[in-house]
Structure 1
Amino acid sequence: MNCPTRSNPHYEPNLQSLLTAFRTAKATHTHSNPNSALEIIHVFHASTSHASPLHPAHPSHGTQPFAFAQPAADGSEPVPWKSVNSSFIGTELERYLRARDIRQLVVAGLTTDHCVSTTVRMAANLGVVDRRTGGFDAETVHAVSVASLEGESAEVMTTEEVVSALGSLGK
């Protein structure tokens, strides 16, 4: 079987580096300023699709976090579980962030164009994070957005294809 090319072949070591750096900073920062602690929140995905490798009954992985992404053994890192792209739907993440007045997030995950993007967009839409602007040209943003929808979430069609399909309805 041919595996698709990964967008980030260094995902595992990168995530491990982030966790190590956050845990070190959290320990140092909390000790020096207990009123402004860093939080590490793990959001794990349990798919409702039986065919998904992230379904609880899937033999290759199920809903077990990867070894490199295990939450802290002391229980100090909350672990909401989700079954859709957004980390806010069906979880207590929004309530948790608001209760602690957390306004800045660092989000990392398996699929940037689905789960990470959806979570970041919803965080901005819900107003739980301070927004910042970035800049890519509109054509690039459009092409990448459409490509990430194709096949995963929708059948993408051009204007001409839709007009043609509608025109052939009465024939």
Structure 2
Amino acid sequence: MSRIALLNIDTQQSFHHRDYWQEKDIPAFQQAMLGLIEGCESRHVPVVDIFHVDEDGPFSLQSGYVKPMAFLRHRPAVVFQKHVHNAFTDTGLDHWLRERDINQLIICGIRTEQCCETTARVASDLGYAVTFVSEATLTFPMTHKGITLSVDELRHRTETVLAGRFADIKTVAQALESL
């Protein structure tokens, strides 16, 4: 029997205080995220919130920003804090999932190519079946060596490297239909 959980990665107010924050993709992200969470909750799929915590800055507990973004209204089954890019290292998440015989994960949250992708890779390596709902992830343009990748390019890159190796890539509708 397959048991499923939704991992909501880093959808926290800390990001509003980063210099790369932009509102352009927020409405679509919010709609996708809320639809996925509501669909999972209505199917009794537990929602797990994971927050990134640093020692200082907007991701520190002292900042007061390590809390859900204002549009989120769900009550998570459990909340974990992480200090690295993936949601498993030193968090207790793997233990919590295995205690409940959960073997399939749906991943959404912020940043597509960083914490969401890294969590998907680690989850797959730990033996979980992973569904990556990229339309319910958010990221921002990135520049390296003078080349800027757009949000769409980063999303495509993430889907390309995960598909068939670490995760199934699905839309919100496809993920909910498969439950």
Task: Establish whether TM, by shorter chain, passes 0.5.
Answer: yes
Gaps of 5+ in 1: 27-37, 132-139, 146-171
Structure 1 residue 39 corresponds to structure 2 residue 46: yes
Alpha-carbon distance in 1 for matches of 2:59, 2:103: 29
Q: Does 1:54 align with 2:59?
A: yes
Query: 2:50, 2:87 within 8 Å by CA — same for their partners in 1?
Result: yes
* TM-score normalised by L of structure 1: 0.57
Paired AA for residue 39 in structure 1 = P
- Aligned to 1:41, the other structure's residue is in SS state strand
| Structure whose residues are more often strand by fraction | 2
Let me know the Cα RMSD of the aligned residues. Answer: 3.1
- Going from structure 1 to structure 2, the CA distance change for 1:115 and 1:7 (only over 3 Å counts) comes to farther
Does the C-alpha gap of structure 1 residues 64 and 3 become closer, same or farther in structure 2, counting only changes over 3 Å? closer
How big is the shift at 1:127?
Answer: 1.5
Which runs of no fewer than 5 residues in structure 2 stay unpaired? 1-18, 132-152, 159-179
Aligned pairs (5 A) from 1:7-86: 10-26=28-44, 38-50=45-57, 53-58=58-63, 62-72=65-75, 77-86=77-86
Call closer, same or farther: CA 1:116–1:7 in 2, change over 3 Å: farther
Change (3 A) 1:2 1:43: closer
TM-score by length of 2: 0.55
Letter in 2 for 1:129: A
Larger Rg: 1
Q: After the TM superposition, which residues 83-98 of structure 1 pair with which residues of structure 2 at under 5 Å, given as runs?
A: 83-98=83-98
| 1:87 partner amino acid | A
Distance 1:65 1:2, change over 3 A: closer
State the structure with bigger RCO (CA 8 A, min sep 6), 1 or 2.
2
Report the residue type matching 2:53 in the other structure: A
Matches within 5 A, 1:118-133: 118-129=118-129
| Alignment deviations for residues 15-67 of structure 1 (CA, whole Å, 9 cap, x no partner) | 111111111121xxxxxxxxxxx2221112222342xx322233xx6212112
Question: How many aligned residue pairs are there?
Answer: 119
Q: Between 13-22 and 113-122, report the one with greater CA deviation.
A: 13-22
- Give the fraction of aligned pairs with identical amino acids, expressed as a percent: 25
Contact map agreement 1:87 1:119 (CA 8 A) in 2: yes
Note the C-alpha offset of 1:2: 7.6
